[in-house]
Every structure is written in structure tokens, then in C-alpha cells.
Amino acid sequence: MTAIGRVEIIYVIVNISKCGVTPPIRGIHMTKNEQMDQLCINTIRTLSMDAVQQANSGHPGTPMAMAPVAYCLWQRFLRYDPEHPLWPNRDRFVLSMGHASMLLYSILHLCGVKDADKHGNISNRLSIEIEDIKNFRQLGSRTPGHPEYGIAAGIETTTGPLGQGAANSVGMAIAGKWKAGYFNRTDLDLFNYDVYALCSDGDMMEGVSSEAASLAGHLRLSNLCWIYDDNNITIEGSTSLAFSEDIAFRFKGYGWRVIRVKDANDLRMLARAFRQFRNTHDRPTLIIVSSHIAFGSPNRQDTAGAHGEPLGEDEIRLTKRNYGWPEDAKFFVPDGVMAHFRKGLGRRGKKLHKSWGRKLDEFRDKFHREAGLLDSMLNSRLPDGWDSELPVFPPDVKGIASRVSSGKVLNAVAKYVPWLMGGSADLAPSTKTLLTFEDAGGDFSTANPKGRNFHFGIREHAMGSILNGLALSRIRPYGATFLIFSDYARPAMRLSALMEVPTIYIYTHDSISVGEDGPTHQPIEHIASLRAMPGLITIRPADANEVVEAWRVIMQLRHEPVALMLTRQNIPTLDRSRYAPASGLAKGAYILADAEDGKPDLLLIASGSEVSLCIDASEQLKSEGIKVRVVSMPSWELFEKQSQEYRDSVILPTVSARIAVEQGATLGWERYVGDNGQIIGMHTFGASAPFKDLQKKFGFTSDKVVAAAKVLVKI
């Protein structure tokens, strides 16, 4: 076989006791170092057992089985400074098997990882104290059932939905490669970190991990290592019930290096596997580790402790007895364990961090501009002049599609913000998301790590998860596809909102005006469903200048993801000398046109392409003596952030005659039109036809709006 095609298998003698630990072989003496290794591993295990038992909820088996793997990685290999857990060049550890959260909480505590506040200031307290472990899965605790980003330092991403963490790690690895390509100089490597993800059988079954692994192999991300816990167990029982593929050859097909370790307890072979990953420079690595979940009782079934069930006090006593542990001691950390981690991980991490600090000082001395950009990126600040070339679009009745104007604005911003980067799920020509200015860097690849255009392929789900990994690495990422395919990206979008990271989702072809592609490509319920997601900001601009203002808002967000929804078809660019400035978008909704006396008989409220439709209808109604206010409402979420006084000044409580117009599901608009208002929207799926025919068929015409208005004002 070729080097790339070879599957490397490391064979060792498997000796797993009833408790899942490899004890000393009779007659063979363990060295002091080996005894300390085993003591640390068993401390991880017993903390995990005790926490799950006290909570009466959780998954003790996997943390117990994977304790040697986590110990070997953190103590011997991970480049991580527990005193400075936000060090930009730290290795990343992602627990994709989020149900095994006690493994991460235990290791963070024992390693003495310090906490950091929301501003990045390091605290004197530990990220995870022993009291936090005692409060595992309790209300308000720092140790929820699945790891959540932002609660405690050392948790690199929110995991739980299987496959997400693994896909996030691909984004983190891409970010590492890009930072190295952009900032590193000869003999001055600021960025060379690796990314490790611990994965389960469930991660391997989820489609998002397949998408992400395929792209990682294509991009030859040599700084990425997945560790697969091959334990043949899921909640329903043996994986043989539903899973029989050859993972090793699947990943070989993706272009990964594959290494096997036949016993999760064998620290020597685990260390060898990690060294082989470190020495691989042309592809990502998958380490398949075989583990066996077993406990004190020889008859206990693996699945119980593996997923969602405490062991029980009797089982814990038996297991601790097999460890040589005090049977009734709970949350016991033996003397010397934390000191041992300080001597290993702590000493190594401190030395590496100090060395990096000296390199950073040298970089600042030699490369002032780039150092300023680096500081801005790491602190989520925008560079001076970032908005200096934002365009102003002249009035145009024919107009321009908002996807096209967005592409122009994106390029104007990205020119000044080098870490603004992204791409499309194979639709860049349609979504207009390619960066085309002179210094854009071209396409990201192994040969060109400075590239800022990403080709995600037709992998919408992985794209969203990879974007989150990039965002967690201080990159400002965007990903684009048609709005209809937000369905495929939705799990990742939800995690963007949950983690409060400012990932940018660009969705074009935002209505039935997609036209001839028909109902499979025409979004109906999608805008409403995205508005229902807590923490996500949706923006649907009415014209090119609202697009400009949308990007102005988006770039200043630090904790909210955005879904920017754009048209395929041309929409008029409004004459802002006649209508209110587009800067009103920043407040979510604003009075675009009003009755001369400011006392309208009727409110017309719309988003996106339907705003110009309401403008046309208002002119006709005005000629018939009806006083109309037109409200452009591109973002419900931004509007709801405004004061009650402002909201009432836009949507007058005294005017009950209101019409909302949007080419999507009507759900939710009732909050703005009230009991006496009317909503012109979609109640069925669309159809295949030219978009003007569709607008007429489904009632998106000025005549339909005028007729509805006359009914409401009783003319």
C-alpha cells in the first residue's frame, strides 16, 4: 500500500480486569512513575463515578474507560498552560462525546486549570473546583450534563449533540492553519497548535462528522487528531444492532492516517500513537482506541454505566475496592495527584507559553501593522477604518438583488478585516460570497493556508459546525447557501446561538421568488422558524442600502450569530431623499414613509423585497385619501431590543388597522398586526413558475395590499 493508504495497527496484550483497569501483573513490580500514573487515572475515574452517583444522573462508564487516554494526552503531550487557559497557541481538546462530561470536568480540576471571566481576565479560582464536581448536573452549576462553552475555562466548545464537537474541531484546525499562514514568519512561528477531539461510536454514526472528516481529509489538516473510543456500545446495546462499517478503511478513504491502539489502558502504546500523530505532516490522524467498560461486579452490563445511569453505591464500593481505593471516600483526591499534573502538564505548558510570549514580543517589534491586526483579532475588535469603503447605492427603480449588493459590501469590509472569511456550500456563484479584491488571498488549501475563500462542498451541516469552530478560534466566519437549506445547517446554528458566538449565516433565494426551481427550493416556514431560535438575529434587508447597514450591524456583534436573508431577484433601491435613511435598520424596524401629519389611518409593515411592494401600495392608497405609514422591519430581534417608547413610536398602539406582508409563513406576525390586522403571507408550499407569476398567484401584489387596506379602514 501507499503511505497514505496504509492502516497502521499497534498490537498489545489486552489485560482488562473486572473494573476496567490493567492491574500490575503478578510478580511484576510497578515503578513509582507507573504507580502515580495509575493513581491519577483512578482519581479521574472515581471523581466521575461519585459525581454521577450524587447527581443520580449521568454517564460514568465512558469517563472511566477513557481516563487513561485523557491522562496520557493531557499529562504527556498537550501544549496547554493551566495558568493561562486562553493562551492563543494552546492545543485544543474537544470532548465530542459530550455525555462523558465528567471526564473533562475531572481533568480540568486535577490539572489546576484557572478560570477566566467574560473579558478574558484570569481568575484566582480554578475553572472547576471540587464543589463544582459535587454539584454535577445541578441547577446553576458550572458542571452541566454536557459541556457548555463560556461556563468555565477549558471547555472549548459546547458538545452534546453527537458529531458537532468533531466537526467544530475541523474549524479549529482550519483556523490554526490560517493563522500560521497569515501571521507566522521565518523562524517566528506564533501559531502551530494541534486540535484533538475525543469521539464515540455515536459521533462516527452522525452524518455531520462524515461531512467534516471528508473535508478535513481533502484539506489535509495535519494539525487535527480524532481519538475514537471503539467500545461497541450505544444506549440501545451493542453497536452491531445498527453499525457494522469498517471505520478504519472509511477514514483511509477520506485521506486520513489511521492508527489502532488495542487497549485503552496501555499508556505506552497511547503515547506512541500520539507521537506518530505529531510526526504526521501531510494529513489528519484518526487514533482508534479499543476500550472495555466494566466495573466491580463481574456480571454488570456495560451499557448501564456507559449511558445515563449511575452505578449504585454497592457497585462503586466494589469498583473502588478493585482500585485499592477507600471504599466509602467520596470525591477523594489523593495527595500528590494535582502536584503530579503541575509537574507534567503545568511545567511544560508554562515553559511553552513563556517561549511564545517572547516570540510575540519579537513579532510586535518587527511587524507593527500585523501585530495590531493580531491584537484586534484576539480581542474581537474591529480595525480602524473597517467601514471606510462601505458603498452607498444610488436610487434605482430596477434595482439590484440583495445577494449581489451583499457581495459588494462583504468585499468592502473584508478588505480591512483579514480574519473575516468564509465561503459557500458549493453555491458561491449564486450567493455572491467570493472575496475578489486584490489581497483577498484566494482559496484556502494546504498549499495556500492564507486563502480566505472556503469551498465547503455540498456539506451544509458540517459547514455550520466548522464555522462555529472558526468563530471559537477568533476568526469571523461566514457560510452561505440557499435559505431552504438552512434546514441542513440548523443544528449548528442552534449551537451558535447557545454558545453566543458571532457566526454569520448568509442565506440567499429567500422566498417563492426563487421561481422555476419550484417548491423544493422555495422557503416557506424557514424565516419564522429561524426567528423562533433564541439568541439568533435574523435580518432581511429591503434594498441595497439596508444591506450596507445590515453588514454594519453584523460586524459589530460579538455574542450573537446572524442569519442574513437575501433575494435572488432584483429589488428597487429606494430613493433615500424621499424615504427615511437606511440606518434605521440598526433598530430592527423604522418608519420608512409616513402620513404627512404623522397620524396614519393604516400601518403597512414588511421585510425584505415586500417593502417596495408596500411603498407602491401606499402611493395608491394615498391618492385615494388613505393616510399610510410604511414600516420596514428587517429584524424582529433588533426591534425587540429597543425601548417600549421607540417600539410604540414606530408601530402606533392607537392604530389598529395594520397589514404585514412577507413571502413566508405568517406565524408570528400576529404580535405586530394585532387582533384586527391582516397578514399577507404563505399558507401553502409554492409552485414552479416565473417569479412574477408566483407573486400574482399567491397575492403579493400592490392591488392585493390595497384591497386588504380598504377592508380594514372600511372604505
User: What confidence tens digit (pLDDT) does each residue in 390-405 have?
Assistant: 999 999 999 999 999 9
Span 221-247, mean pLDDT? 86
Q: Say yes or no to pLDDT of 197 above 80.
A: yes
Tell me how far the alpha carbon of residue 454 is from its chain's centroid. 16
Q: Please indicate whether residue 486 or residue 187 has the higher confidence score (pLDDT).
A: 486
The reported pTM is: 0.93
Exactly one of 148, 315, 460, 662 is catalytic; name it: 460
Q: Say yes or no to pLDDT of 23 above 90.
A: no
Span 369-389, mean pLDDT? 96
Task: Indicate the average pLDDT of the chain.
Answer: 92
Q: b/e per residue, 222-244, with b = 16+ CB within 10 A?
A: bbbbbbbbbbbbbeeeebeeeee
pLDDT value of residue 300: 53
pLDDT digits (tens, 9 = 90+) for 124-149: 999 999 999 999 999 999 999 999 99
DSSP letters, 160-179, are: -STTHHHHHHHHHHHHHHHH
Grid look-up 510497578 returns 30
- Residue 103 — left, alpha, or beta (φ > 0 → left; ψ -120 to 50 → alpha)? alpha
Please report, rounded to a whole number, the percentage of residues in the chain having pLDDT higher than 90. 89
pLDDT value of residue 137: 96
Checking 527-530 for CB contacts under 8 A at 24+ apart, the result is 527/483, 527/565, 527/607, 527/662, 527/664, 527/665, 528/664, 528/665, 528/666, 528/667, 528/668, 529/490, 530/486, 530/493, 530/563
pLDDT value of residue 708: 95
Span 555-564, mean pLDDT? 97
pLDDT digits (tens, 9 = 90+) for 427-469: 999 999 999 998 899 999 999 999 999 999 999 999 999 999 9
Burial of 388 (0-12, 13-18, 19+ CB in 10 A): exposed
Q: Say yes or no to pLDDT of 27 above 60.
A: no
Q: Say yes or no to pLDDT of 237 above 80.
A: no
pLDDT digits (tens, 9 = 90+) for 470-484: 999 999 999 999 999
Task: Let me know: does 110 contact 95? Beta carbons within 8 Å.
Answer: no
pLDDT value of residue 241: 84
pLDDT confidence band for 242 (50 / 70 / 90)? confident
pLDDT value of residue 414: 97
pLDDT value of residue 7: 36
Would you list the domain boundaries of the chain? Answer: 7-354, 396-572, 585-712
pLDDT value of residue 602: 97
- Catalytic residue list contains 438: no
CA dist., res. 471 & res. 467, Å (int): 6
Span 191-202, mean pLDDT? 97
Q: Say yes or no to pLDDT of 307 above 90.
A: no
Architecture of the domain delimited by 396-572? 3-Layer(aba) Sandwich (3.40)
Q: What is the CATH number of domain 7-354?
A: 3.40.50.970
pLDDT value of residue 316: 93
Checking 37-43 for CB contacts under 8 A at 24+ apart, the result is 37/71, 37/267, 39/334, 39/336, 39/337, 39/340, 40/71, 40/75, 40/110, 40/337, 40/340, 40/341, 41/67, 41/68, 41/71, 42/67, 42/323, 42/325, 43/106, 43/110, 43/332, 43/333, 43/334, 43/337
Please report, rounded to a whole number, the percentage of residues in the chain having pLDDT higher than 70. 93
pLDDT confidence band for 74 (50 / 70 / 90)? very high
7-354 shares its CATH topology with 585-712? yes
Architecture of the domain delimited by 585-712? 3-Layer(aba) Sandwich (3.40)
pLDDT confidence band for 308 (50 / 70 / 90)? low
pLDDT confidence band for 234 (50 / 70 / 90)? confident
